[in-house]
């Protein structure tokens, strides 16, 4: 079912969980964007937003994708729900490539793949009441009959913890947290199998963040929906995810089960990212940690070799040349990391 995509080149002989069938398989996914409004006559610079990533999403899990701004995590999210077409590579949903689907088939599949956006203000139409915002997709995709619509909308609002009486209000009458609840109800209204949550709590206050994170977890228990949770806040990602992928400049540098990743981070970037997250414990201020030097390089001209070598405290000569592949940390392990230097050190 993984099909022909590149197996011949031997590139994708990655670890696969034999017991579980992946809901979605991402193979050598690349997405480049031309820079807008650049100089005439010259070749347009290209942003390498996502530059060759492979991973699977299993049914019922939450896969967290973490990285700093510009690392391509949101771009991956948009490819997964078919909002954009990849430059090359494949997003296979139940074995079918999204980019090869007919328009009609894709329209049907879109109901399975939904998204919750960061900015709940701009993703809700300000001129429409919540009732209409929720009703439009339900009617379009014929999820329920028209005479059942009222009941369905009440059910959705109840699901996300909003009182039914609020359904004739406009988006601006809600607080940020409530608007995000509406965004979640909208995503769930089509009974999706996979929901991509793109920074769903970043714009919210801490006290409200916890409410939304708990709501997402509770909904997953009830509805058995699969999540891809994209965020830059490690604490939040760890709280909701079963597995986490760490991204840097368009590539996945490490992917592992949540517990495994936090117990034993392998890639130097993962370690630095963990060290940089502030801990709510003043006693630990003086702890040893990696402080990265320099800025994140531009994704227009990403560094050759390992993309992290310009900031990596462990970089050696070969890191400037060799492009590291994601390999199992131990034979047969589902914990993959793209740093031959650290892995070689561990063997000794």
Q: Which residues of the chain form contacts with other proteins (CB under 8 A)?
A: 68-69, 175, 177-178, 205-211, 213-214, 232-236, 238-239, 258-259, 262, 272-283, 285, 291-293, 295-296
Q: Are 211 and 177 in contact (CB under 8 A)?
A: yes
| Residue 12 or 262 with smaller CB distance to other proteins | 262
Q: 69-81 b/e with 16+ CB inside 10 Å = b?
A: ebbbbbbbbbbbb
Residues 6+ away with beta carbon under 8 Å from 218: none
Q: Would you say 149 or 208 has its CB closer to other proteins?
A: 208
Radius of gyration of the chain (CA): 21
92 vs 245, which CB is nearer to other proteins? 245
CA pair distance 28, 250, nearest whole angstrom: 11
Smallest gap from Cβ 123 to other proteins, in A, equals: 19
**Diameter of the chain by CA atoms?**
69
Which of residues 120 and 258 has its CB atom nearest to other proteins in the complex? 258
Least distance from other proteins to the Cβ atom of residue 233, Å: 8
Least distance in Å: CB of 231 to other proteins? 11
Residue with tokens 């003043």: 282
The least distance separating other proteins from the CB of residue 179, rounded to whole angstroms, comes to 11
The least distance separating other proteins from the CB of residue 45, rounded to whole angstroms, comes to: 15
What span, in angstroms and rounded, lies between the C-alpha atoms of 67 and 43? 29
- Shortest distance, position 257 Cβ to other proteins, whole Å: 11
Between CA 76 and CA 78 the distance in angstroms is: 5
Nearer to other proteins, 162 or 194 (CB): 162
- The residue among 93 and 239 lying less far from other proteins, judged by its C-beta, is 239
What is the C-alpha to C-alpha distance for residues 170 and 128, in angstroms, rounded to an integer? Answer: 6
């Amino acid at each position: 079912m993984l099909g022909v995509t590149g197996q011949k080149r031997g590139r994708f002989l990655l670890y696969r969980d034999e017991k579980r069938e992946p809901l979605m398989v991402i193979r050598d996914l690349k997405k480049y964007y031309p820079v807008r409004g650049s100089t005439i006559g010259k070749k347009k610079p290209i942003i390498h937003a996502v530059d060759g990533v492979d991973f699977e999403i299993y049914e019922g899990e939450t896969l967290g994708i973490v990285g700093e701004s510009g690392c391509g995590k949101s771009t991956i999210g948009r490819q997964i729900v078919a909002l954009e077409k990849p430059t090359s590579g494949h997003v296979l949903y139940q074995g079918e490539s999204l980019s090869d689907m007919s328009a009609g088939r894709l329209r049907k599949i879109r109901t399975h793949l939904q998204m919750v956006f960061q900015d709940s203000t701009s993703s809700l139409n300000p001129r429409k009441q919540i009732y209409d915002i929720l009703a439009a997709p339900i009617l379009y995709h014929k999820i329920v009959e028209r005479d059942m619509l009222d009941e369905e909308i009440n059910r959705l609002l109840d699901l996300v913890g909003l009182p039914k009486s609020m359904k004739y209000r406009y988006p601006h009458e809600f607080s940020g947290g409530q608007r995000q609840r509406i965004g979640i109800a909208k995503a769930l209204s089509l009974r999706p199998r996979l929901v991509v949550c793109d920074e769903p709590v970043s714009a919210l206050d801490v006290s409200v963040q916890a409410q939304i994170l708990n709501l997402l977890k509770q909904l997953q228990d009830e509805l058995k929906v699969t999540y891809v949770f994209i965020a830059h806040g490690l604490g939040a990602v760890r709280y909701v995810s079963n597995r986490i992928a760490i991204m840097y400049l368009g590539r996945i540098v490490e992917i592992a089960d949540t517990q495994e990743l936090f117990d034993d981070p392998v890639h130097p970037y993962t370690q630095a990212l963990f060290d940089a997250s502030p801990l709510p414990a003043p006693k630990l201020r003086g702890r040893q940690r990696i402080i990265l030097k320099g800025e994140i390089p531009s994704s227009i001209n990403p560094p050759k070799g390992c993309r992290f070598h310009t900031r990596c405290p462990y970089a050696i000569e070969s890191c400037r040349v060799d492009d590291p592949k994601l390999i199992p940390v131990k034979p047969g392990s589902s914990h993959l990391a793209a740093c031959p230097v650290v892995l070689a050190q561990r063997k000794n």
